[in-house]
Amino acid sequence: VIRTMNAIFGHGGWSTKLLMERVVLSEKDERGRWNVGYLASVRVTISNGNSHEDCGSGEGINESKLKAHETAMKSAVTDAMKRAARHFGERLGNALYVKGNGIRNAP
């Protein structure tokens, strides 16, 4: 999503703000790995002042508690950014969820 936003709006032509992040799961499974889940809410603003907000979720599974939290949080923020970006139009939106789609081949 970052590469696509930069390609369309340019570096510095957009910004994000993390509005909320919350741990919703943090426990060990039967194999001794940490299973961690996060929810995040993000606002994406473009240079003309238009902005959209949305939420996302992410999961991390790792033997390291820190790595599991890191993966889950990054995943939740990225998911929230994609969901917020989709409100700016098809090229930034639902096309980002199609594997293989990027700035060059999105509708």
Give pLDDT tens digits for 30-69.
999 999 999 999 999 999 999 999 999 999 999 999 999 9
pLDDT of residue 40: 98
pLDDT at 19 over 90: yes
pLDDT at position 90, please? 73
Total-model pTM: 0.84
Amino acid at 65: K
Q: How far is 86 from 78, CA to CA, in rounded Å? A: 12
Q: Does 101 score more than 60 pLDDT?
A: no
Lowest mean pLDDT, pick from 23-27, 43-47, 95-99 = 95-99
Instruction: Please report which residue ranges of the chain form alpha helices under DSSP H.
Output: 2-9, 65-85
- For residue 47, what are the β-bridge partners? none
